Amino acid sequence: MPKYPAQPRPTAYVNARLLDPASGLDAPGGLLVEGETIAAIGQDLYREGRAWRAPEGAAVVDCQGLCLAPGLVDIRVFPGEPGDEHKETLYSAGHAAVAGGVTSMVCLPNTTPVIDDMSVAEFIARRARKVGMSKAYVYGAATKGTQGVELAEMGLLAEAGALAFTDGLYAIANARVMKNALAYASSFDLLIVQHPDEATLAAGGVMNAGAMATRLGLSGIPAAAEAIMVERDIRLAEMTGGRLHFAHVSTADSLAAIRRAKDRGLKITCDTAPPYFALNETAVGDYRTFAKLSPPLRSEADRLAVVAALKDGTIDAIASDHIPEDEEVKRLPFPQAAFGGIGLETLLPITLELVHNGEMKLLDALGLVTAAPAGLMRLPAGRLAKGRPADFVLFDPQRAWKVDADKLRSKSKNSPFDGRPVQGRAALTVVDGRGVFAEDAP
């Protein structure tokens, strides 16, 4: 496998298959890194006949024909730190991220203390810089303490670097509070992100409502709990003119409502996560708690609707929905086990399943985890272009491997894809021109 150079000097990455969804580039070529930025990129750059050369004085990395794409931008990550370091830390999350080709991650505000004040946002930024792996950005809490009662200081949080505002793992349940959040945010052109779940309807449920939940004797969460919240918030966004994004959408009815809202020209966007297009409720199997997620894994009809929405552009991005939970809260009877699954290291291969299954073209699938999420968060990431940050991943889309949760770099091991055969793996990850991960490095 290619190795990154040890010396901090100009580096030419040659003999690569360049993939840039933002520009539609898919061609053999090369890329030159100087300092922290891309200095040159092009089809057949540094190629002479069948050989490859590089500028004098530059280190050379032969990419051996592997795919060189923008680093993945993951817009839904719970970092654990501060407050839940037993589940995850910025160190472990950063290493897991770059092993999965993720060079930018946006952290949920459900830390302890909550990211509802500038000091916590600044702490995470400092810690991420010290770790020196994936870049870490933050959401600000939409309400103080993510309690859903009083709006947080969004303007000040935005000045401190918050990219958007959400209560993260919790829905903003009160309609008046949500309306006020959208109205306030629209004054500053800020984005509100909602976890769509009508909590009183979902209360007590532990998996998708339906025949399987009945057979297993488990309380169900109806698909309508998501759709009702989506419909409500679309109306509130229409009232206020606010920008609204729905996270991890998982049902056909929700997607139909979002599609109609987009057709009316509303400022509505959404993402989904790999479990909702790669798994369905049968993954719960014999009370498998690693498959207990929020929202829950849905029916096969809903899964197919998610795939269709990815193909037709209704879904704007894919995020890992990385929610680490330790064994103490996962190795419990299914009703008592915590919701959540990790996903940083499986984001790339599970997204590539859409390509291997013939459902999407490679550039289109990669765009959902690079340029599209970067655009939603207005980040200078997710594309290969001269002058852009040198954040990219070299990967083999055909590399076959089996997900083994115990070998993943996340501190917690609760992967819903544990044991799944997959294709596609990062061989090399570069952040700001620095090699931060190589597959065969110690």
Catalytic residue IDs: 321
CA distances to 17, 24, 269, 335, 359 from 363, rounded to whole Å, are 12, 7, 20, 40, 12
Contact partners, residue 35, CB within 8 Å, separation at least 6: 390, 433
The string over 379-393, giving b where at least 16 C-beta atoms fall within 10 Å of a residue's C-beta and e elsewhere, is bebbbbeeebbbbbb
The number of beta carbons lying within 10 Å of the beta carbon of residue 420 is 18
Q: Could you tell me if 227 and 255 are in contact, meaning their C-beta atoms sit under 8 angstroms apart?
A: no
d(CA 156, CA 115): 12
Please identify which residue in the block is written with the tokens 């209560």: 167
Of 221, 207, 111, the residue nearest 166 (C-alpha): 111
d(CA 310, CA 313): 5
